[in-house]
Structure 1
Amino acid sequence: MKNSLMVVTLALGLTACSTTGPRAAEPVNVTVLAVNDFHGGLEPSSFAGVQVPKEDGTGTTGLTAGGIKAIGGELAEARKQNPNTIFVGGGDLIGASPATSSLLRDEPSVIALSKLGMKASALGNHEFDQGVKELLRMQNGGCDSNAPDKACKFEANYPGASFKWLGANVVYTAGGSNPFQPYYIENIGGARIGFIGAVLKETPTIVSPAGVAGLSFLDEATSINKYVPVLKSQNVDAIIVLIHQGGVIKEGSTAKFDTVGCQDLTGDIIPIAQKIDPAVSAIISGHTHQGYNCVVPDPNGKPRIVIEGEVSGHLLQRLDLVVDKANHTVQEVKARNVVVNYTARKAAGTLDSSMTAIVTAARAKTDEVKNQFVTNLGVSQIKRAADRASESALGDVIADAQLAATQAQGAQIAFMNPGGIRKDLPDATKLKPGNAVNFGDVFDVQPFGNTMVVMDLTGSQIKALLEQQTTGNNAGTNAKLLQVSAGFSYTLNLTAPEGARVSNLKLNGQPLGENTTYRVAMNSFLSTGGDNFTVFKQGTNVVQLPGLVDVDALVNYLKANGASLNGTVQGRITIIK
């Protein structure tokens, strides 16, 4: 199977470290393949970027893509074409994972990526979900985990990752040392390829405080640039940045994941890329779950590749470099996104058989829990939104479930963060007869294990909270619309000035009183100000419910109401654009 979906060619140079004149060129071809935002995607899932006909002929659905067996097939094909192939990651390899991986603390995913030959990966924000001690265990191995019910249940003695997580901009607050390597050098085909890794500096705002305790997250570009001369002094022939920060294609653009050299990228990666040293040949990005292959000017104004491969292993980012190892320069870089077509590889018999044992073992250890029946939905699927700036049918259901679960504590309104909704219910690859849903389907939607919290907020605080959806770190392409429960509604006018966009707030048809106190429910992540919703930290009369996990609240609600759910967006948020 051939994937000639996207090619961008740039002529780039890495300044030679030698003080003598250029020597006769010694070119070597090096291929770099990368996966970003893998999120424990051991099994394939639906990729909306490519639509294929449904089996029943009623329309189209997303291509079944990703999964370690198909990724292994792509790697084997690439290595056959070019033995000088390096496999790396763009962060969020673990965390927010489906049940097959998450119920085993993502250990099978790390083991699989290691056996597939991954060499290095940027740290992602989700790597910090369970705290730095647990992340170091994931790197180094062992069973001393904060989740003894999950750790070392896949293998009796978890061996750790054979690849290195890289975090040039992550330091201990006390002392300033790096808990993880800032860079990695791979010797291949006689060439020396350097990788510098970084994670978005806003990580503390989107991870629970316990997850990043004792750590500081520094400016990405400054930290990356710090190590460029270090790599040059070691005579590397090319430098690639692996960064867990990304962008999105501008609204209205026709560019897609398979667009050649798009120039319509926007978002947080742009100012970072513009500051990264010109000696960096290409930037492999992540975090935004987008597929793009774009060019962004470097500090000298020259176009440089910035590429991202969507999510869950649906796409692999591919760079093909021509490296002059005699003069430590990069003569050419080509970039494309490769669709990891599980369906086609299965039909062709080119899945990686060595990965089958890992998937089979992980399933065997988790199927008993995953296969527990929950309900029959009234529709085949309830979908989340394609972005985080919209109300979704599934978001409405989750907010209703959390309200129902906390009414004993007096809850009147529930809020759910859109980033905590990880899959449709169920994923298009897991549709079942009778619209059945099992625990694994529900867990895939909410895999974090957050607990429920109830607190008091005034009407004016709730308005201020909702204003935070589109301001500060949530401005522009980072907007995040909290999903809201039945009975609550409001209008969001995106054309109005910041701080004056939310109006017409009502509860059960009555306007919210500015000074009236309301009982509000949310998950533990939001309650501490997660996703930049700091107003939650102003709440009073806070009740923690450590015995009520969000996924259990959803399971209970689905058992009681599943058959009546119609999968439609309820229209609780009126958006003016």
Structure 2
Amino acid sequence: MKSLRILVPLAASLALAACAAQPQRSSSAGPAPIANTATGNTAPARTITVGIAAINDFHGQLEPPRQSVLVKDATGATGQIPAGGAAWLASAIDAVRGQYPLHMTVSAGDMISASQVASSLYLDEPSIGVMNRIGVDFNAVGNHEFDRGKDELLRMQNGGCAQFTTHKPCQLEPFTGATFRYLAASTIDQAGHTLFPATGIKTFGTGADAVTIGVIGLTTRTTPTLVSPAGIAGLTFEDEAKAINAAIPGLKAQHANAIVVLIHEGGKQDGPPDPQGCNGMSGAILDIIPRLDPGVDLIVSGHTHAAYICDFAARDPAHPLLLTSAGLYGEMVTDIALDFDATTHKLVARRAHNVIVQSDPYQSATRLVTQDSRFPVFAPRADIAAYVKKYVDASLAFAARPVGKLAGPALRGEPGKVATGGTLGNLIADSQLGATRKAGADLALMNPFGIRTTLVPDKDGVVRFGDIYRVQPFSNVLFTQTLTGAQVKAVLEQGLDDDGPWQALAPSANVRYTIDVTKPVGSRVTSLTIGGRPVVPAKAYRVTVNQFLALGGDTFTQLAGKPDQVQGQNDLDALRDWIAAVPVRTVPAEARVTITGL
């Protein structure tokens, strides 16, 4: 496995570093950070502190994403804080790094793809440009990094204008690639090598005064179920714990004083999210941690789009590591401090908290989300704002084209134990059925996780192409294929098995089904009607889904490999045409899926 080494001069004296034993918190500091003393002994008189600014799941959100961070005050009252935007994120990261003479900046994957139109139209070149300007050191590959295929991902690292997609690269300027290093410890090519280096090293100072951080980066082993198989042909994705453990001896041989893992896999809290909390955690990351070498000190995670700070010192003394995640879309940045004994250079303490990247107010589907004076408001960094504006301005003509009118906002399903498509899922499924009737479609199904944001028309009801692009940024074509009634039910059941998070596929208007989550796997769909009649197990039905599902994505293997698949139009075009087909499209608000047993 290859590794990357970066050398950074140590501060002028250890006296300065010693002052960082309790690093001064900037005005961005929220609740008191979690502390973890690695040795359990009294902290040494002199310490060297290395600060880490960490993000994950940026997804090309160049402009504020018109989303909020949910917070709770001491009385239990909740509030929403407008957050995100590349220029605001840059200022927040600068504030975090400004506390530490010694620092590094890392990302846990999905930096690109599923992006805003101003980034996606230009193959996410501007998102890489933003992160270069911010000064990221390392980024783990995420599953979405593979959305446009392996060759295009390699271009993201190495630069150049070779064309691997339907979009033309280098439209506004030459693309020189990422100045940071992608890491891919678990992604193996046909020659048995990692696609990118497995590890990286950053050293502060030299000789006896050196403090060295070893970094391992990797993605979830479920990536093959989440992206198009054609784009990752020849690649395999190893077990995460196995790949991490295999990389540690090499870092120790390079005298790493601490091991940091950047992993595009994570967990979620149970109940209302607390950006500083670790309440009732569940998820795949909890299956990985017990199998890790105890040498891992910090895990920066992602993938689940959840925010949390988890101290495992009490939970699992064999793995007294710190687990963090900063949510998604650059709405938060995790402020992490690692303290080292200035004499032995052993890690003696670690602390972290999530800083909310509060930005400008915005109009949500239901109300104006205003700034909260209890939290700092970051000013957009001027150079990043100017760079983003260049790409936003270039995309305006494309994004501003009117599509049609909606009678009101179309909402995604509310977060819960079972993901649903909400009224927007209904609208999308109807549009896909309407677009494929000529292919004989009887019904359409849409995956909730493929719906990235709500669809909110302007005050006159006008929806623009940029609005629907944000909803479905993957540009999937539609496929119509034949399934028996028994297979249709089996497809719905796959969304409710124990292989991944539960999601109820959003059906077109002629479908109704009921879920009982207390039933065993394979029998949770308790009723299913198509066209007002109970489904007939042996009867053939023509079913429309997007390309991602048709390839078995999100573990819907029942949809993959059908011999009679008929390719239709792009999902964005289908939604555009559906909205435009009537003067004002009504948002279908009826409940098509009933969930019981929660």
Conserved? CA contact 1:73–1:351, under 8 Å: yes
Conserved? CA contact 2:551–2:561, under 8 Å: no
Matched, 1:327 2:350: no
- Structure 1 residue 438: deviation in Å? 0.8
How many pairs align? 545
Matched, 1:468 2:494: yes
Tell me the residue number matched to 1:367: 396
Give the partner amino acid of 2:242. Answer: T
SS of residue matched to 1:541:
coil
- Structure 1 residue 353: deviation in Å? 0.6
- Alpha-carbon displacement from aligned partner over 1:41-100 (angstroms, at most 9, x marks no partner): 111123343379xxxxxxx98432111111111122223222322111010000111101
Conserved? CA contact 1:384–1:421, under 8 Å: no
2:541 to 518, 537, 556: 518
Conserved? CA contact 1:273–1:296, under 8 Å: no
1:21-420 to structure 2, matched below 5 A, reads 27-50=47-70, 62-147=80-165, 149-155=167-173, 157-172=174-189, 174-188=190-204, 190-250=210-270, 253=271, 256-259=274-277, 262-296=278-312, 300-324=317-341, 326-343=343-360, 350-386=379-415, 389-420=419-450
The RMSD of aligned alpha carbons is 2.3
Q: Which moved more, 1:378-387 or 1:396-405?
A: 378-387
Tell me the residue number matched to 1:424: 454
SS of residue matched to 1:118:
coil
- Alpha-carbon displacement from aligned partner over 1:130-162 (angstroms, at most 9, x marks no partner): 11111000110001121363311131x201001
Instruction: Provide the rounded CA distance (Å) in 1 between the counterparts of 2:583 and 2:507.
Output: 18
Instruction: Provide the rounded CA distance (Å) in 1 between the counterparts of 2:527 and 2:166.
Output: 48
SS of residue matched to 1:137:
helix
Instruction: Provide the rounded CA distance (Å) in 1 between the counterparts of 2:188 and 2:588.
Output: 45
Conserved? CA contact 2:273–2:307, under 8 Å: no
- Alpha-carbon displacement from aligned partner over 1:452-477 (angstroms, at most 9, x marks no partner): 11000000111111111122523xxx
Tell me the residue number matched to 1:508: 531
Instruction: Provide the rounded CA distance (Å) in 2 between the counterparts of 1:237 and 1:405.
Output: 58
Instruction: Provide the rounded CA distance (Å) in 1 between the counterparts of 2:279 and 2:316.
Output: 16
Conserved? CA contact 2:359–2:379, under 8 Å: no
SS of residue matched to 1:356:
helix
Instruction: Provide the rounded CA distance (Å) in 1 between the counterparts of 2:32 and 2:273.
Output: 12
Give the partner amino acid of 1:234. Answer: Q
Change (3 A) 1:84 1:271: same
Conserved? CA contact 1:187–1:193, under 8 Å: yes
Instruction: Provide the rounded CA distance (Å) in 1 between the counterparts of 2:565 and 2:178.
Output: 40
Instruction: Provide the rounded CA distance (Å) in 2 between the counterparts of 1:460 and 1:63.
Output: 46
1:437-516 to structure 2, matched below 5 A, reads 437-474=463-500, 478-516=501-539
Matched, 1:10 2:36: yes
Tell me the residue number matched to 2:16: none
Matched, 1:555 2:573: no
- Structure 1 residue 364: deviation in Å? 1.7
Instruction: Provide the rounded CA distance (Å) in 2 between the counterparts of 1:8 and 1:473.
Output: 32
Conserved? CA contact 1:246–1:286, under 8 Å: yes
- Structure 1 residue 25: deviation in Å? 7.9
- Alpha-carbon displacement from aligned partner over 1:276-310 (angstroms, at most 9, x marks no partner): 22211111100001111123468753542211111
Conserved? CA contact 1:6–1:337, under 8 Å: no
Structure 2 unmatched ranges of 5 or more: 1-26, 73-77, 361-370
- Structure 1 residue 324: deviation in Å? 2.9
Instruction: Provide the rounded CA distance (Å) in 2 between the counterparts of 1:381 and 1:5.
Output: 35
Conserved? CA contact 1:196–1:224, under 8 Å: yes
Instruction: Provide the rounded CA distance (Å) in 1 between the counterparts of 2:225 and 2:182.
Output: 21
- Alpha-carbon displacement from aligned partner over 1:213-253 (angstroms, at most 9, x marks no partner): 11000010111011111111111121111000011112xx4
Instruction: Provide the rounded CA distance (Å) in 1 between the counterparts of 2:323 and 2:102.
Output: 22
SS of residue matched to 2:387:
helix
Conserved? CA contact 1:274–1:296, under 8 Å: no
Structure 1 unmatched ranges of 5 or more: 15-23, 53-59
Conserved? CA contact 1:457–1:540, under 8 Å: no
Give the partner amino acid of 1:30. Answer: V
SS of residue matched to 1:434:
coil
Instruction: Provide the rounded CA distance (Å) in 1 between the counterparts of 2:587 and 2:201.
Output: 53
Q: Could you state the TM-score of these two structures normalised by the residue count of structure 1? A: 0.90
Change (3 A) 1:487 1:567: closer
1:537-576 to structure 2, matched below 5 A, reads 537=560, 539-545=562-568, 548-561=569-582, 563-566=584-587, 568=589, 570-576=590-596
SS of residue matched to 2:503:
coil
Give the partner amino acid of 2:329. Answer: S
Instruction: Provide the rounded CA distance (Å) in 2 between the counterparts of 1:137 and 1:404.
Output: 38
Instruction: Provide the rounded CA distance (Å) in 2 between the counterparts of 1:530 and 1:383.
Output: 20
Tell me the residue number matched to 1:18: none
SS of residue matched to 1:398:
helix
Change (3 A) 1:193 1:154: farther
Conserved? CA contact 2:245–2:293, under 8 Å: yes
Conserved? CA contact 1:11–1:332, under 8 Å: yes
Give the partner amino acid of 1:270. Answer: L
Instruction: Provide the rounded CA distance (Å) in 2 between the counterparts of 1:349 and 1:230.
Output: 40
Instruction: Provide the rounded CA distance (Å) in 2 between the counterparts of 1:266 and 1:472.
Output: 13
Change (3 A) 1:264 1:304: farther
Identity over aligned residues, as a percent?
36
- Structure 1 residue 165: deviation in Å? 1.1
Instruction: Provide the rounded CA distance (Å) in 2 between the counterparts of 1:44 and 1:218.
Output: 35
Instruction: Provide the rounded CA distance (Å) in 2 between the counterparts of 1:382 and 1:501.
Output: 25
Change (3 A) 1:149 1:187: same
Q: Which moved more, 1:118-127 or 1:499-508?
A: 499-508
SS of residue matched to 1:282:
strand
Give the partner amino acid of 2:441. Answer: A
Give the partner amino acid of 1:357. Answer: A
Instruction: Provide the rounded CA distance (Å) in 2 between the counterparts of 1:34 and 1:199.
Output: 16
Instruction: Provide the rounded CA distance (Å) in 1 between the counterparts of 2:106 and 2:446.
Output: 33
